Structure 1
Amino acid sequence: MSGTRGTRGTRRVWRSNERHQWEKDRACRPLPVRERTGVTERDTGLDVDDLVFSATYRERAADDDLAAAFGVPPGTPLLERVYRTRYEREDAPFDVSHSYLVREHVAANPALLDEANEPWPGGTSHQLRTVGIEVARVVERITAARPPTEGEARMLGMGPDTAVIVLRKTCQDTTGRVVEVADVLLPGDRTELTFVTPLESW
């Protein structure tokens, strides 16, 4: 299942909701441990040196949809972070994620506002930890499975007869406040989603 140099995208990704606890636990580890691996490496089985990562930050005002998701007034300043990660032997990313933070929540640490600090060891869980925010609950909803637009198909290296999976992730802190909203576009032809539900004993 590994890719061939120059291909658009062939490597399958196994994405389980168990990744969230793994990332939260990782956020409390020392820097040398956090630098060695992240959730993408966990999902793909690749090493850090196998990956090409990009992050683009910009400020934007919350539209009605994001305002409702965060529970803030429309127009609230947000930090939008667009993430793409690909296998270095392939051209297409595993997914494209638009992650949003309320700027006021993270402004106390200016390093969190600068894309030059990416990739951040420990990911968003550790970023939020630096400003005293603990993620306590993650909700993921598959909002669509649909044909990709032409632009999405080119970006994700998908064929014409495949579907994209649209996933919205919402993270809440220990008070129930929404601290991150992420819209993730996944190529359906090479992504497997697994949902694990631990059940408490009677």
Structure 2
Amino acid sequence: MAEAYEEDRRPRTRAVRDNRRHQWEKDRARQPEDLRRRTGATERDTGLDSRNLVFHASYRETKADAGLADAFGVPEGTALLERAYRTRCATEGAPFSLSTSYLRRDLIAANPALLDETNEPWPGGTQSQLHTVGIELDRIEERLTARPPTPEETRRLRLPPGEPVIALRKISYDVQDRVVDVTDVTLPGDRTELRFTTPLERW
């Protein structure tokens, strides 16, 4: 752990996450694949080129516990696809976040490619994936809290002592008002900036 803290004393890439990213992702969902492959959300947040990033995704099938069942509005035990994502700068040891996404298996099973982690990183991300099974997002709700990290989060994010994390739950609703994606993201407080821009209708 001492070596990790030595590394963490060096300046590390910051990520700026703003709520306009969701419309940006939706606009890209129907673009040609070659355009979607050029850049992703992490590149947008960090300014890094994809060649400077190390990406990892792992999938597993699971069942909704009480908390996820409540978030999705489905019975406990409903089949879900759990997807864990980790992306880091190639010259740094810690990922930008710890992100775990849950999709209802019944809504995506029509496209077997969505169940296969080897298809990651998917050009255009989750909204593009959902588009392949006819799902269009209507809105995204994000809930943010700050808290002390768990020992595991401290280790995986290589946090300096006393540094908090930002816990984000992102809930995506489709145009039929169904919850189609629940994502839990743990963001390191020392290198994450959150920005919110709210367009206001003119009088």
Give the TM-score range, shorter chain. Answer: over 0.9
Number of the residue aligned with 2:57: 55
Report SS of the residue matched to 2:42.
helix
Which residue pairs with 1:136 in the alignment? 138
2: CA distance between counterparts of 1:121 and 1:96? 20
Query: Which of the numbers 6, 9, 27 marks the counterpart of 1:25?
Result: 27
Q: What is the rounded CA distance, in whole Å, between the counterparts of 2:151 and 2:66 in structure 1?
A: 26
The one-letter amino acid paired with 1:197 is T
Contact 1:23–1:122 (8 Å) recurs in 2: yes
Query: CA separation in 1, counterparts of 2:20 and 2:62?
Result: 31
**How far does residue 7 in structure 1 lie from its aligned partner after superposition?**
3.5
Deviation, structure 1 residue 190: 0.6
Gaps of 5+ in 1: 1-5
C-alpha separation in 2, matches of 1:7 and 1:94: 15
**What SS does structure 2 have at the residue aligned with 1:137?**
strand
Question: For 2:7 and 2:102, how far apart are their aligned partners in 1?
Answer: 31
Separation in 2 of the partners of 1:152 and 1:112? 28
Corresponding residue for residue 181 of structure 1: 182
CA offset at residue 10 of structure 1?
1.6
Provide the rounded CA distance (Å) in 1 between the counterparts of 2:96 and 2:81. Answer: 22
| Identity fraction in percent | 62
| Residues in 2 aligned to 1:73 and 1:151: alpha-carbon distance in whole angstroms | 30
Q: What is the RMSD computed on CA atoms of the aligned residues?
A: 1.1
Partner of 2:191: 190
Where does residue 147 of structure 2 map in the other structure? 146
Quote the residue 2:3 is aligned against: none
Cα deviation, residue 86, structure 1: 0.2
Q: Note if contact 1:7-1:89 (Cα within 8 Å) is conserved in structure 2.
A: no
Matching residue's letter, 1:158: L
Counterpart in the other structure of 2:107: 105
Counterpart code for 2:151: E
- Separation in 2 of the partners of 1:88 and 1:135? 32
Q: Distance in 1 between matches of 2:50 and 2:66?
A: 37
Could you list the per-position Cα deviations for residues 52-90 of structure 1 after superposition, in whole angstroms to 9, with x for gaps in the alignment?
Answer: 000010011100110010010000000000000000000
SS in 2 for 1:36: coil
Deviations 1:138-181 (A, max 9, x none): 00001x31111121111011111100000000000001110000
Tell me which amino acid in the other structure corresponds to 1:155. R
Using the alignment, how far apart are the partners of 2:34 and 2:159 within structure 1?
Answer: 36
Residue aligning to 2:166:
165
Task: State how far apart, in whole Å, the 2-side matches of 1:131 and 1:189 are.
Answer: 38
| TM-score, L = length of structure 2 | 0.94
In 1, distance between residues paired with 2:147 and 2:71?
Answer: 22
Tell me the number of residue pairs that the alignment of Structure 1 and Structure 2 aligns: 196
TM-score of the superposition, structure 1-length normalised?
A: 0.95
2:48 to 22, 46, 58: 46
Q: Take 1:158 and 1:71, find their aligned partners in 2: how far apart are those partners?
A: 35
